[in-house]
Structure 1
């Protein structure tokens, strides 16, 4: 039976993990004859199947006002409570409007009941589900207990109530084993594990006329060796290890490229990386002004490329993260048949490494052996080809669309009772 599935989040736009994974879910669900519709505060989906409510975005001024008064302190003023309730009631009415407009039969909450960046939306969605008993899936990417910034708060009642809620019609989904165990321990709630995936049955796109000159456009010579750090510039990404790696390779052709900006977490870490690169003689390039979500031209008439435009021109990927919920950049590197350095963050060590990938690894610091492994992958074409093909085959077996299709079929059956 075909379901009309409504995806709910604060944002479905750009290349963040929630937006990317929800699009993959929708693609697989469409292949099973289910229809997908979208509700969020910021959307880049087809307007014909979308319901945009600006107040649902985590950067809406009212939500920012609330967040400034509930995090980092234990006391909550009655006015804050009233404004949370008022906004939740408004958002709940908009959820009714969305489900009626598109005749929704199943809801999929994408991180909206997980990380409390928008308390009113979580409350609204929890109450909506309690009132309607609509079958629903809560896809959890980042729980609040995984983030230090949420540990001191004045909303423990709302966190208990809605992040996530309990419900007989609600199926919980997590992206790693640790989250599965923590959810059971903290909330007494079972969940299904659905890892992040890629469509490894479809080869990665080749460079086209638009992207073939990206090296020259970004200021690289044809013989430069590009090591890509495909992440935002935040401390948990461990980018200082990437700089140390390039220093240790002692090859002036090696250039370290960071694709994303620092965003809203400040620029102190970015400045530290710049200073470290200068002190160690590493050619570090920040290219976020030329890498965007879509292809376009900037105000100076220069081309803006996507990250996927850049990947085919890269020689090696660095990913020395201290923590990741899963690691989309890891799968992207494997998808584009690129060798990648991994710092054995806990989720990788438990959920990914046992699958049998062949990778240069580090445990918080670089060893001579790791550096030699990276050097060989850069210089030995035959070894590199053998390695990336092996990794592609492993990823296709464990992290591809057929796995997602099987898990989603089970989830839909669980909450609807219909095969």
Structure 2
């Protein structure tokens, strides 16, 4: 069985890139390939399938320093070349690139890898040496590769000013004959062509409906066990925010939504946030906590946070994922909240629809690709207004209306976003003669 290496800065987590990489891995298996994973950080370790190369992690201290030099300090100082404490950026970039390249090449040779599938590492310059290394590996080895772009550096404010513009233009992403580009929304497809004349294949994210055949997700007992674990009473509502705690997710909108809706319904609503914050987003994390305390919204976090005291407050820690998985939470919740401003795609939209849950969502740019299919969501344009609250109240109080809305969304997601389409699209790319 031929091997395909799935490569990214980090894999195996609950972020969108990791989740989608796993779906592609399943599709590759169905196409007769054996996936192996190469990354700088994993939730899953101690397996022959998971190869850890620490310098591939964008949170590695040396990679953070390179990124700081290239972007943050360049923006602050507005200079073309930066030396700080004898730190010569381009020399260090080259040295780190060579280290990463040698290690990846070694694993490719050892495992006899025939194909490479790259997740976002050639899209965002979170790990600049990794991007350069991958481009050189693909070019020099003449190995057939697919790179999936979840978003691009020119879409992010933090990457607009740099002292490595030539590197960004050449490598993020590179133009190579044996590299096939995939995007997850039509806006990215147009943007990539306008910028680099690259004809990318549009493959939206998908939901594997075979998952729903698992008796676990039909079990009323597991649903009850989870709600009991969270101390949620039968008449209370559980809303799910299935994201990390980072600024672009706009969790304060979910808090405002829950606060206002609970007053209208005269019900207790708990907002469960599944993801962690990031080191550089800790200020925002504190803002979310303060906002929840100020509004009195019942917030449930799934992870411990040291040096923060949540005692005697409306915020509690419940380590849900020691006993349950994310799909258990989807199954047990009453509504999904996703008021993000910026997404490459937005997996919670599909997941909420597949589990027949109402969705409160902000009208972020690429949501148009999904909305055009005919979905019916509780939609806002950045503001939690009376219209969305009225619709949400109707959804929660009128079971027939809720069933009508969620059944409609389920049928649409099954028709347009299933794994069958993904398998067909990937097979076509792999069979290309180039």
TM-score (norm. length: structure 2): 0.87
- Check conservation: 1:76, 1:155, Cα contact below 8 A: no
1:359 partnered with 2:377: yes
390-399 or 36-45, which moves further after superposition? 36-45
Q: What are the Cα deviations for residues 324-368 of structure 1, in whole angstroms up to 9, with x where unaligned?
A: 11101111211221111121111002x100101111211222332
Say whether residues 1:334 and 2:353 are aligned partners.
Answer: yes
Q: CA shift at 1:190, angstroms?
A: 1.1
Tell me what 1:4 maps to: 3
Distance 1:291 1:109 in 2: 34
**1:48 corresponding residue in structure 2:** 48
Alpha-carbon distance, 1:219 to partner: 2.8
The structure 2 residue matched to 1:259, chosen from 274, 280, 296, is 274
> Is it true that 1:276 corresponds to 2:275 in the alignment?
no
After superposition, the Cα gap between the structure-2 partners of 1:274 and 1:158, relative to the gap in structure 1 and judged at 3 Å, is same
Q: CA deviation at 1:149?
A: 1.1
Q: Is the 8 A contact 2:301 2:318 kept in 1?
A: no
**CA distance in structure 2 between the partners assigned to 1:322 and 1:20 by the alignment:** 20
Where in structure 2 are the equivalents of 1:5-404 lying within 5 Å? 5-43=4-42, 44=44, 47-72=47-72, 73=74, 74=79, 75-77=81-83, 79-203=88-212, 205-206=216-217, 207=219, 212-249=224-261, 250=263, 251-289=266-304, 295-296=321-322, 305-349=324-368, 351-404=369-422
8 Å Cα contact 2:302-2:321 kept in structure 1: no
Q: Which runs of 5+ in 1 are unaligned?
A: 297-303
Q: In the aligned structure 2, how far is the partner of 1:57 from the partner of 1:269?
A: 23
Cα distance in 2, alignment partners of residues 262 and 394 from structure 1: 32
Name the stretch that deviates more: 277-286 or 148-157. 277-286
In structure 2, relative to structure 1, the CA distance for the partners of 1:394 and 1:136 (3 Å cut) is same
| Distance in structure 2 (CA, Å) of the matches to 1:92 and 1:271 | 39
Q: Aligned-pair distance for 1:279?
A: 4.0
Residues of 2 paired with 1:90 and 1:277: CA distance? 45
* Shift in Å, 1:393: 1.0
Decide whether aligned partners of structure 1 residues 59 and 326 sit closer, same or farther in structure 2, where only a CA change above 3 A counts: same
Task: Name the stretch that deviates more: 339-348 or 49-58.
Answer: 49-58
TM-superposed deviation, 1:170: 0.8
For the structure 1 residues 142 and 208, does the alpha-carbon distance in structure 2 shift closer, same or farther, using more than 3 Å as the test?
same
> Deviation at 1:218?
2.2
- Equivalent pair of 2:223/2:331 in contact (CA under 8 Å): no
Kindly state the Cα deviation for residue 254 of structure 1 after the two structures are TM-superposed.
Answer: 2.2
CA distance in 2, matches of 1:278, 1:252: 18
The question of whether the paired residues in 1 share the 8 Å contact of 2:343 and 2:364 is answered with yes
Question: CA, structure 1 residues 40+273, in 2 after alignment: closer, same or farther (shift >3 Å)?
Answer: closer
Task: Report the secondary structure of 1:160's partner residue.
Answer: helix
Shift of 1:57: 1.5
State the Cα RMSD in Å.
2.2
Moved more, 18-27 or 93-102: 93-102
- Inter-partner Cα distance in structure 1 for 2:45 and 2:287: 37
CA distance in 2, matches of 1:234, 1:58: 16
**Equivalent residue number for residue 300 of structure 1:** none
For the residue of structure 1 that corresponds to 2:147, the secondary structure is strand
Deviation at residue 174 of structure 1 after TM alignment: 0.6
Work out whether residues 211 and 305 of structure 1, in 8 Å CA contact, stay in contact via their aligned partners in 2. no
1:301 matched residue in structure 2: none
How far apart are 1:66 and its partner, in Å? 1.7
> Relative to 1, partners in 2 of residues 1:98 and 1:354: Cα closer, same or farther, differing over 3 Å?
same
In the alignment, the residues of structure 1 paired with residue 362 and residue 152 of structure 2 have an alpha-carbon distance, to the nearest angstrom, of 22
Question: 1: distance between equivalents of 2:249 and 2:53?
Answer: 32
Count residues in correspondence: 406
**3-state SS of the aligned residue for 2:69?**
coil
**Distance (whole Å) between structure 1 residues aligned to residue 102 and residue 157 of structure 2:** 32
Q: Whole-Å Cα distance in 1 between the matches of residues 379 and 39 of structure 2?
A: 38
